[in-house]
Structure formats: C-alpha cells, structure tokens
Structure 1
Amino acid sequence: MNAIDRTPADLLRSALAADPGRPLVTFYDDATGERVELSVATFANWVAKTANLLQGDLGAGPGDRVSVLLPAHWQTAVWLLACSSVGVVADVGGDPGVADVVVSGPESLEAARACGGERVALALRPLGGRFPQTPDGFVDYAVEVPGQGDRFVPFSPVDPGEPALVVGGREFTGAEVVERALAEGGVEAGGRVLSGLPYDTWEGLSVGLFGPLVSGGSVVLCRNPGQVSEESLAKRVESERVTVSRL
C-alpha cells in the first residue's frame, strides 16, 4: 500500500505496480473441483474489462448503485474492484429493486428481475464459462466481458469520500474501506489467508479480499468448503502455503 491509496481500486493499482506476477486470488469451488489462480496482473485485467463494461455498455457512473447478488467467488472480487474503479456503489446483497444495475449469479436470477435497470448474469461456471442459454432479460457476463478494453480510465474522477460499498447494512466510503482494512491488519506482506467466509459481511470481505490487498498478501478463497474433509483442507493449507485460515 502507498500513502496515496485512498480507494480499493488504488490498492490494486499499487499492487500491480509493485509485483504484477505474484498470486492475488486463488479460488476453489469444492462442489465442482474448480481451482483458479489469478496473479495481480490477470486479476487487474479482469477488473479493467469489467469496469469498461460497467461504465461503457451499462452506462453506470459515480453515485449509481450496483446490487451484487453473488457468493464469495473470484468473479465477485473482480466486480467489487470494478465498481470501485468506476466510482459506483457496490451494494452486496442489496435490494435490486432500487439499484441501477444488478449483477446476479444463477441462484438469484428471479430476485434480480426486480431491477428496472441493466441486468447482468454470471453463470459462475469453471473457467468463467457462459450460460448454455442467456437468461431472459439479462446479458451474459462471460459473453460481454472478453471484448472489453484491457485498460480502464474513468469518465469522472473517483472521490474517495463518496459511498463505495454497502455490506451487512452498513455503508462505507472508498477511503473507509481502505482505512478499516488497514486498521485490521490483514496478513503480513507475502502472506496467504485461506477464507471460507461469505462475502455478505464486512468480516468476509475483509478477510477474503480487502485485508490481503491492503497488506500485500493474497487469498485462497474457498466456496463450499464443507463439501471436503478436514484432511483435504489441511492438505490445501500445506500445498498453498497458507499462513492464516478463516473458515
């Protein structure tokens, strides 16, 4: 983290400048056997493409609200940083009926239809795969995002003092996200935290994304960890060189 880092998007830019090749997010889905590892550079590229989709194709800008109806997943982490890059409010689990844009996984599509604005569906399939058939009333993220630009520049400067995140019923500015994550410490530089916590609480986001990002560490993000044995998780801790576990 640099002294000029005021938003989560700033943290990602600093991480990219410092060491683009280091792992940032390693994702396991223990229901499907999926494992994905994203370096800082790869993650930042996904964020740039998603931010371009959000700002350009979906027409979102500072002050707009994005309802994020997604589980703890590497693509959810991408969306949260893309929202920070554009300056929109990421409302985790928020009411899609009052949102300008909704981003939904396959299990929340019916609820997401309450959004009167743009609707984006994520299949959350291995390797970022698309839906076999795009849900009615939605655009398929996996179809739309690959063609987006690899560099992102916001149309308007992002104000770190403006609302950026709503989680667990509490609203945070971009600066507050950074300050709180820094105060809680995350992990040591180069450390790896294994997290099975959901993303619908501050604790889950802090442990599973913002803490590692602010401290120069990385996260091993586990979805459905209850579907594997304790022995398998112990082997994962060893093989991934995990320094802190939060399940």
Structure 2
Amino acid sequence: MTADVLTSVAEGVATVTLNRPAKKNALTTAMYAALADALDAAAADADVRAVVLQGDERVFCAGNDIGDFVGLPQTGGDLPALRFLRALARFPKPVVAAVCGPAVGVGATMLLHCDLVYAGEGATLLFPFVDLGLVPEAASSLLLPQVVGHQRAAEALLLGEPLPAATARDAGLVNRVLPDAEVLGLARTQAARLAAKPVAAVVETKRLLRSGAQAAVLDRIEEEGAVFARLLGEPAAQAALGSFLARP
C-alpha cells in the first residue's frame, strides 16, 4: 500500500483517502493498485459495511499523473487502472464520495460508480478526454448519458465543458452541495448511517439498483479501455500529452 492512498476502518466504515495533495491527487499506477487492493479488502471484510472515498478540502483528484502514465503499457487485463475500475463497478457495499475542488478525468468518472456523492461549493467535474485525443473511461460513455441525458453528456464529453458543483447537482451527478469544510464530515455521517442499517438489506438493495446494468458497464469499461489504448499511440494524443508535460 502506497502512502499516497490511506485506508482506515472504524465503526463499520472504511475510509479511503487520496493523499497526494502536492500533485492534486493525480493517480499513479501504484495508487491505482492501492485503490483496487483497498476495495478488494473492504469487500471481503465483514466488519466493513460502507466505504467513504475522499481527497481533501482542496482537491479530490486531478485524473491520471501524466508523467507516470505516458510510456506505460495500456493494454492487458491486469492493468492496475482497469483493476480499480472493475473493483469499483463490482463493489457490493455502498460507496460515499466526498468531493472538494477539482475532479478531473478519472476523478470525475469514478463518481458514476459511487452510490452517494457530496460535493463542496468549490468542486468542479471535468472530462477532458477528447481534448487529449482520447476517449472517456470507467464506462462513463454509457453511464453519464443515463444520468444526465445525451445532450448534457455530449457537452461534458465532446466539448469538455466543466460542470460546477451546483450544475452537477442539478444534473443528478451529485446528491448535495455544501461548504467545502463540511463535505468530509457529511460523507462520513452518511456512511455511518448506512453502516448502522441491516447489512443484508443494504447490500441486496444496492445489487438490485445496479444489477440490470452491471454486465453492460463492465463490457463498456473493456471497450473504452481498448479504444483508449489505441488512440493513446496516435499523433493527436501524443501531441496533447507532450504539450501537457512541457508545461513549466
């Protein structure tokens, strides 16, 4: 487990914290592996009845760490990023997300797999894949239109229009918007409420909510991953990522 991902368990709630604020919680390969391991452990632990996924009061997640990302293999079923996305999509217990500040790329798409999302007033969701010469991941090309409708999804995914917290709430991506300083506390409170309920009823209700779409979600994760890997080697993506890395 990397120090860039922290986990703790108390009173039935596992808290998974992205802990790389100096890099805006951008995800490295090691962090993806740690997140997948944390979810696998929480799924297997009978004492864990809910999970909180959080950053801090300044930033949730800036997406992939481009420097770590470029040059790594992007195909293969055992890639840590795919392991994490599959684990999150299959996770049987409630996941509560606390989102403050930017949620970019995978930082935004992972929220589509969370059951409750609480956002700070300064939060912004951004899906910059097309501008990087890539396609969305985490089955967001399937899930986002289901949540917000095709037109709003097209603005977010094709145009890369940012979604401020209030807009995300109105579109159905966020449950509640509140002052940044209150977000982590509310997420923990709501997770504790879930953990106190009859566990079988909670797990079965989540399964019923998700089961009709889960196979399609997992298939879309794989399809997006294959296209993403192919486009990553093409000139548009190489130029965009190179330009990003050249920034001072």
- Could you state the TM-score of these two structures normalised by the residue count of structure 2? 0.30
Please identify which structure carries the higher helix content: 2
- Could you state the TM-score of these two structures normalised by the residue count of structure 1? 0.30
